Structure 1
Amino acid sequence: MTSAKVGSAQWAFAAIMFLAYPILRPYSSEVGMEGAEAFGETSWVIAHVCAMLGFIAIALAMRSLEQLVGPSAGASAASVAVVVTWIGVGLTLAYYGAEAFALNALGAKAVSDADPAIMELADPIRNGAVQISMFGIGLLLVLIGGVYAALAVRSSGILPSWSGLPLAAGLILFAPQFFAPPAVRIAHGVLMFVGCLILAWAFWKARTLRTDLVTSAA
């Protein structure tokens, strides 16, 4: 079943990206020259690009979920998951782009000029009213999409009823983990990895089950 096979790959890719994000991300006080050095590292860009790719993979995987559970009772919940997740991911990516590229350029400039005053621009880049509102709404919508995806999985009768819950938990905790220490943020990355990997397994299992049914019918 194409949607199950593709969806499995999408969830597996998302799992790797969300694990890489907190592991690769440099941690610091994010102020002064210490913050500039962290922002200016190549790993800062790579980590945030991993997060962006993870969100894109989740959005695509939601479409695969909709296709997979389409004939079942989970169809309406899956459709809601697709719409709100796609909108949420679009809003979230704009903020992550600034985090990945604007702060990296800012940090690199502060380091090259040995001028920590440049870092004063980090706050308006991150916390301006428009961008922080877009980011907050985006994460909320992705969270809602994750909850509806879990409901779709539970109602489908095609996937294990519990298999959407770990991802939903990871998405619920996505915003709070930003205020946690590095160890907790990495633990959250592990939770996202497990949640996405469980769905990758569930989709692959659904594909195998369908293949077995077709073979036995023949």
Structure 2
Amino acid sequence: MSTPLARLGAPTLALAGALFILYPAVRPWHDESTVDGAIASMSSGAWVASHLFAMIGFILVPLALLALRGALAGTRSERLALTAAITTWIGAGLTLPYYGAEDFGLHEIASSPDASKIDLLAMVDAVRLNPVAATTFMIGLLALGAGAIMAGMAVWRSGVLARYSAIPFAVGFALFIPQFWAPAAVRIAHGVLVGAGCAWLAWEIRKAALRKS
């Protein structure tokens, strides 16, 4: 892979990290088990913006992992890094439709003038717990976690990048599913973990690109 693409991958991954920090930091945190809380959160512009940040981040990460594969070209980890990029690409594709429904669909429902009169919480559950949607969402996040772990293994084995540099990245994506059941403070901390993991790995990819230039 060319050095210019590797150089592009580093800022792409760093940008993804910033977006994953903004996602829980900007997201409104009201008690969504109540009608008033659900309306306050889901009808706000911050709800749309925060989930959009996450969606863009999911798109950018697989692109950046192609640069990781380039950084590890010629090592025994090159194939594993490519597998990581492909796996996260599939994971992002399966995850994004659910995020779109969560973002735009729930926002429109909660913004309806009749939102307080309808069985809003039942409608929210119907969107979130649709069997096909929930299953593809979980498979997508599992694939993203698996891809991030493979990226961490590729870095560990390569001897090209700092051995520990992809561990926070891998741990952050591996924890994406359980963090949904955590309180707001933990979810914000998780966003910082993912962001820091992306930034560290981006820095190592950037250094590898400069060494090859």
Cα shift at 1:2: 1.6
Q: Distance in 2 between matches of 1:58 and 1:208?
A: 21
Q: Distance in 2 between matches of 1:112 and 1:23?
A: 29
Structure with larger Rg:
1
Match for 2:36: what amino acid?
M
CA contact (8 A) 1:33 1:116 kept: no
Cα shift at 1:34: 1.6
Cα shift at 1:116: 4.9
Q: Distance in 2 between matches of 1:5 and 1:66?
A: 12
In the TM superposition, structure 1's runs of 4+ consecutive aligned residues that sit over 4 Å from their partners are none
Match for 1:153: what amino acid?
V
Three-state SS of the structure 2 residue aligned to 1:174 is coil
Three-state SS of the structure 1 residue aligned to 2:165 is coil
State the Cα deviation string for residues 109-168 of structure 1 (Å, max 9, x = none). 1x5554252342110101111011001000000000001101111222221111111100
Q: Distance in 1 between matches of 2:120 and 2:196?
A: 39
Match for 1:123: what amino acid?
D
Distance 1:123 1:113, change over 3 A: closer
Determine the structure 2 residue equivalent to 1:137: 139
Select which of 73, 76, 88 maps to 1:73.
76
Determine the structure 1 residue equivalent to 2:49: 46
CA contact (8 A) 1:18 1:192 kept: yes
Q: Distance in 1 between matches of 2:62 and 2:146?
A: 13
Determine the structure 2 residue equivalent to 1:35: 38
Cα shift at 1:95: 0.6
Query: Per residue, is there more helix in 1 or in 2?
Result: 1
Determine the structure 2 residue equivalent to 1:177: 179
Cα shift at 1:108: 0.4
Determine the structure 2 residue equivalent to 1:84: 87
Match for 1:163: what amino acid?
S
Q: Distance in 2 between matches of 1:70 and 1:97?
A: 35
Three-state SS of the structure 2 residue aligned to 1:162 is coil
Q: TM-score, normalised by structure 1?
A: 0.92
CA contact (8 A) 1:66 1:75 kept: yes
Cα shift at 1:80: 1.3
Please, which runs of 5 or more residues in structure 1 have no aligned partner? 212-218
Please, which runs of 5 or more residues in structure 2 have no aligned partner? none
- Tell me the C-alpha RMSD between the 2 structures: 1.3
Select which of 116, 125, 128 maps to 1:126.
128
CA contact (8 A) 2:109 2:115 kept: no
Determine the structure 1 residue equivalent to 2:8: 6
Q: 1:100-115 alignment to 2 at 5 Å? A: 100-109=103-112, 114-115=116-117
Q: Distance in 2 between matches of 1:150 and 1:140?
A: 15
CA contact (8 A) 1:55 1:89 kept: yes
Match for 1:74: what amino acid?
S
Determine the structure 2 residue equivalent to 1:214: none
Cα shift at 1:194: 0.5
State the Cα deviation string for residues 48-71 of structure 1 (Å, max 9, x = none). 000001111111111111222121
Cα shift at 1:73: 1.0
Taking every aligned residue pair, what percent have the same amino acid on both sides? 38
Identify the range of structure 1 (33-42 vs 177-186) with the bigger mean alpha-carbon deviation: 33-42
Residue 96 (structure 2) pairs with residue 98 (structure 1): no
Q: TM-score, normalised by structure 2?
A: 0.94
CA contact (8 A) 1:32 1:116 kept: no
Three-state SS of the structure 1 residue aligned to 2:138 is helix
